[in-house]
A = this chain, B = another copy of it.
Amino acid sequence: MTDMSVIMGKFMSRSNKLTSRDRLVRAAIEVFGTRGYHATRVSDLVSHAGVAHGTFYLYFDNKEAIFLYLVDDFFTRLQNQTLDRFPASAVANTGELNAQLLEMWRSILGHCRCEPFLTALILRESYAVSLASRTRVEERFAQTITSIGTYLKELAKRGIIRGSVTDASAWGILGLIERAIHYAVVVNPEAEVDTLAHEFLQIELNGLLGDREGLGAA
């Protein structure tokens, strides 16, 4: 249903027959993402994947394990395709920052648009699966915050953004990104990614008041 290569991140040329494991992962993304983790029974997963109950336990220790796999996979791929590709060191001035962040927004929103089920699942349920998985998810978010924080501090140090950014700011930016993704994927999946990228970039860089100079000029 969704593009295979994106979901699996693997080559699929050898055989057009998916392995049982792949089928289970795909089923989990779709069913968890639609019904929610807790409303999904292992039997839903296996029937959706077209495999037997026992087969599930051949590849995953338990229901939580496949969820955790999805989370790790999601965060890893998102990180690779976004922050890792856009180092603060490559930015010399406001104009370049503008360009880089625009690209980053495009990348994030585009990526999440490609896997709407998984994205919605992570946004909605990542904290709510179990105490154990909450801890794992908190670690992942903490890493993200560190990445964002490091990025921002680097820019601040070099005077490209204001100097007063802190960890709190990083959390705020994270929230902005999360709901931006939510908007792009869930609320308004028809909207152009480019338009949205500009819109959220504007808030990120200039807030509600917007570019003072532009405003002054107007």
Contacts and interface: CB of A to CB of B under 8 A. Distances in A.
Interface string A159-175: 00110111111011111
A202 to B, nearest CB: 7
Give the oligomeric copy count.
4
Give the 8 A-B CB pairs with smallest separation, nearest first: A175-B179, A162-B210, A128-B128, A212-B212, A207-B207, A175-B175, A124-B127, A171-B183
24 contacts: A36-B128, A124-B134, A125-B128, A162-B215, A164-B202, A166-B199, A167-B183, A168-B188, A169-B208, A171-B180, A171-B182, A172-B179, A172-B180, A172-B203, A175-B176, A175-B177, A175-B178, A178-B178, A202-B207, A204-B208, A205-B208, A206-B206, A206-B207, A213-B216
Nearest to A165: B208
Most buried by B among A94, A131, A183: A183
Contacts of A162: 202, 206, 208-211, 215
